[in-house]
Homo-oligomer: A and B are copies of this chain.
Amino acid sequence: MAGYIPGEQPRDGTYIKLNTNENPYPPSPRVFEAIRAALTGNHLRKYPDPLGTAFRETAGKILGVNPEAILIGNGSDDVLTIVTRSFVSDSGVIVSLTPSYLLYRTLAEIQGAGFKEVPFTENWELPAPWPLSKASLTFVSNPNSPSGTTAAISEFRGLLEELSGPLVIDEAYVDFADQSALPLAQCPNVIVTRSLSKSYSLAGIRFGFAVADPPLIREMVKVKDSYNCDVLSLAAATAALEDQEYMKTNRSRILATRTVLERSLVNLGFAVAPSQANFVWCRRHKQPAKPLYEELKRRMILVRYMNYPGYGDGLRITVGTDAEIARLIEELKQLV
């Protein structure tokens, strides 16, 4: 087994990092206040609240869901791991679309389960017929990575009748999209997962959560590590969610920069998928993407090179600040 290989994380800080979909803006000032407050008293030496009650109540209020319908996770990847361990045995099968988040395959391999992937249509639409009814678990990344594209929520409703195992709608990037599938989390067989890494600028503190019918959540609580979230990340995540205005302001800036990035790439002759995320997927039909990735890296700009078997390669570029994107485009002009 090869394991999942995350994007490069150079520690020297001199690169323009447009490769792992981090937010170019810092987290809300309230996050820093909340962490500093959690450093007082006995919080560090005592175990955290295993269920993250305060976070669940805050998130429940903001999202309009029952706090009992929320599961806390040490990052969205922890939530995806918990979901897999809860619902997939090693005679089971995980189904995912492709190209999509490569971790889904790794999770199946670690679990010793089968893995089937079904290609998106050429325009990044859900294929038909799809999915496989016998799937123990079906993952849909929406917005999808690497494409940044979304499927309409109405399309998921039809799928639900065909599935025996849960449908996981991975909404790590949904705060940059027009629509969320959260209302579907009231169905008995849908798990919506979220991350605070991207829209809330908290990749460093590791926090994600799931929303699903409370009986599903209770099963997942049995499987998760008892204390999977620490006191500081719980405090940070709660404060981040409370500052919706701050998140939405950054979202608007990123969406504006995304439009500039998309147009510039099109002008340079790239084929660009219509993104609803904080990154853009682009390809050149007559030029391989790897030399571009390598040349950008040499010029201290990291983007993500991806190559999917049977599909081909491309670059996934995170929406950075305006200055970072301007610099990227300047360099690309010299390379294409």
Contact = CB atoms under 8 A, between A and B. Distances in A.
A204 B46 contact: yes
Contact of A46 (B6, B203, B223, B236): B203
A125 interface: no
Contact of A226 (B23, B77, B221): B77
Q: For this complex, into which size category does the number of interface residues on chain A fall?
A: 35 or more
Contacts of A53: 11
A6 B226 contact: yes
Contacts of A39: 32, 35-36
Interface stretch (A152-160, A209-217, A227-235, A285-293): A227-235
A156 to B, nearest CB: 26
Contact of A13 (B26, B42, B78): B42
Contacts of A11: 49, 53
A310 to B, nearest CB: 24
Contacts of A231: 204-205
Contact of A197 (B6, B9, B47): B47
A327 interface: no
Interface string A32-47: 1001100100111111
> What are the 8 A-B residue pairs with the smallest beta carbon separation, nearest first?
A3-B222, A204-B231, A45-B201, A6-B226, A206-B230, A44-B204, A47-B203, A77-B225
Interface of A: 1-4, 6-7, 9, 11, 13, 17, 20, 22-27, 31-32, 35-36, 39, 42-50, 53, 74-75, 77-78, 81, 85, 89-90, 110, 112, 197, 201-206, 221-223, 225-233, 236
25 contacts: A2-B222, A6-B50, A6-B227, A9-B49, A11-B49, A13-B42, A22-B45, A22-B46, A25-B45, A26-B44, A27-B44, A36-B36, A36-B39, A44-B201, A47-B197, A47-B203, A48-B203, A74-B225, A75-B228, A110-B223, A205-B231, A230-B230, A230-B233, A232-B232, A232-B233
